[in-house]
Structure 1
Amino acid sequence: MGSFFKQVYRYTHPRSYRHNENLWPYMKIGRATTGEINQLEYRGQPVPIADLSSLKGKFSGPIMLAATGPSVNEIDFTQPPLPVPAFGVNGAWSLSKFFEFSFYVIVDMGFFDKKPEIVANIVAARGLILFTTAHGIARIIDRIGLGNIQCTLALIEDAACKIYQSSLKPHELKDFYIKDSSTAFTQSRPDIGFSTDIRQGIFDAGTVIYWALQISLYLGFTELFIAGLDMNNFDKPRFYESQSEKQPTNLKGIFTNLVLPAFEHASLLLKDKKIRVINLSVNSAIPDYIFEKVSYNDAFFKKN
């Protein structure tokens, strides 16, 4: 039946709507006047989702973003406990034995497919806000069940591929969002944007940490510590993987042309807003002029 509906959708919709084909007709949405999806129904069931407007500027101070680069294994999280709230991405969940995650973001559908046991643990965490897309929510419900979701789901969208709207090609992004004061693009790249209001969509740069930066700013945090932002040694497994279970990554191929200029763009915007970003990976390929590099111990526990 799913294949039938997919074929019907392809026949009745332009190619620019193809990103919706796995959701139609199972998912129904409603949008707030501020643009975000605020009502969600999937396979006939209402799905509770966070009110994104209520999260705007709700928090303050520092937060730690836990990425998944190999350098995380060089950090001793055992003593003393982490003194700031934590925001995880993808497989960073294994750090939950050291501290409690308050926020999480997964936007890679391949991660849902390949690491279902990690996803199950994340959605079972009470008090956690999980930011993910409509496709991510569909996968969670299909595989884990709506009744087993204990976390709060916060529905976010790729600014280039909004649900039941036409997708945008990279070169079309700047022209489309030019009148939106919450978005900013580089002068030379119409495909590299950054949003200060996630209700309007979040810009992708090939890495989930770029999403986490935009979400953290929206939530109100003013000091962002990032662990595992290595962006080198791509042949090595992520900190939570063994060599035998290492999943492929395309970051090496897009680092110079996309990831690096996107982080440089984000750095300028965040500095302009007086938001400090500290890269706890001291050997990261992201230069100091983009994000200041400080070791974990010096950042949190060095005595004055």
Structure 2
Amino acid sequence: MDEVSVRGATQRSSITGFEACHNIAQGPVFIIASGASAKDFPLQRFANVPMITLNGAISMFDGSGINPYFYVCTDTSFQYEQPDLYASALLLSQRLAIWPDEIELIETRTDAAIYPLRKANRSTLYESAFNPEHELVRSRAFWSSRSRTLGFSKDLSAGFFDARTVAYAALQIAYHLGFTQVFLVGVDLNQNAGRYYETEGRAVSPCGLDDHFESRILPSLKLMADRVIGERFAVYNLSQTSRIPDSVIPKISVDQAEAIILSGV
């Protein structure tokens, strides 16, 4: 491992590019988000399945004996708003996907492998129309400037597409890693319902889901459903209260998820 000097303290950690973890996994993975529905998910029932967790959903893993396969945080203010949860993520997770600037600010010792995030470049008119980079599935609505920032990255070494929800970044990471069955937990995308871990006395982080759901989140998920999901990559939604339409990502029960995993389909 490399030695990384952070704010005067030497920490043992491995910092590398996403090419080092390309296609290192297979089979099912859970993406654990922090929507209100996540509180009912039986984490221990699936303890042997890799899990990618996001932001404050790391609280579900405290005391569980389960170390998340990946922790993803795209919110640069999260470490200040929820410092105890961020510290837990550094301590518990096997791998971290965070911004380069956040790496320099790490004060807590972590043994996790760290993968710096970067966004995919905005597409040109030619790239939108002909999609010459097969690892970057771009929106074909090239007449719209906003649409040229929409897409799905199959290879995070080429960057990822930001849909204003960390769950979408995690979906791209899941594909990059090689997972073929993705089960979404707590991806409610319901701003009014809040996050399951925001109990009385805990700071409430700002949320902009309503501002971006129609303009970025849903169009990005539809692009993924139309042009990425298939025999190689399946996505299921375990949140029955999620705003994502069934026609985009089908909703299934926990029992159905277990049956799919056991069947190996």
Q: State the TM-score, normalizing by the size of structure 2.
A: 0.83
Separation in structure 1 between the aligned mates of residue 43 and residue 126 of structure 2, nearest angstrom? 41
Aligned Cα root-mean-square deviation (Å): 2.8
Partner of 2:144: none
User: What is the 5 A alignment of 1:1-304?
Assistant: 48-78=14-44, 80-96=45-61, 97-98=63-64, 99-125=66-92, 128-140=94-106, 143-144=107-108, 148-160=109-121, 173-175=122-124, 178=127, 179-188=132-141, 189-232=147-190, 234-242=191-199, 245-272=203-230, 274-300=232-258
Structure 1 counterpart of 2:195, one-letter code: R
Q: CA deviation at 1:218?
A: 0.6
Query: Contact 1:57 / 1:220 at 8 angstroms: preserved in 2?
Result: yes
**Residue identity (%):** 28
Greater gyration radius = 1
> Which structure 2 residue ranges, 5 or more long, are not aligned?
142-146
Separation in structure 2 between the aligned mates of residue 159 and residue 269 of structure 1, nearest angstrom? 18
Q: CA deviation at 1:262?
A: 0.7
Query: Contact 1:52 / 1:154 at 8 angstroms: preserved in 2?
Result: yes
Structure 2 counterpart of 1:89, one-letter code: L
> Which structure 1 residue ranges, 5 or more long, are not aligned?
1-37, 161-172
Deviations 1:169-227 (A, max 9, x none): xxxx1218924331122222212111111001111010011111111101000000010
Q: CA deviation at 1:269?
A: 2.7
Q: Residue 85 and residue 48 in structure 1: after superposition, are their counterparts in 2 closer, same or farther (change >3 A)?
A: closer
Q: State the TM-score, normalizing by the size of structure 1.
A: 0.73
Separation in structure 1 between the aligned mates of residue 171 and residue 68 of structure 2, nearest angstrom? 16
Separation in structure 2 between the aligned mates of residue 236 and residue 286 of structure 1, nearest angstrom? 15
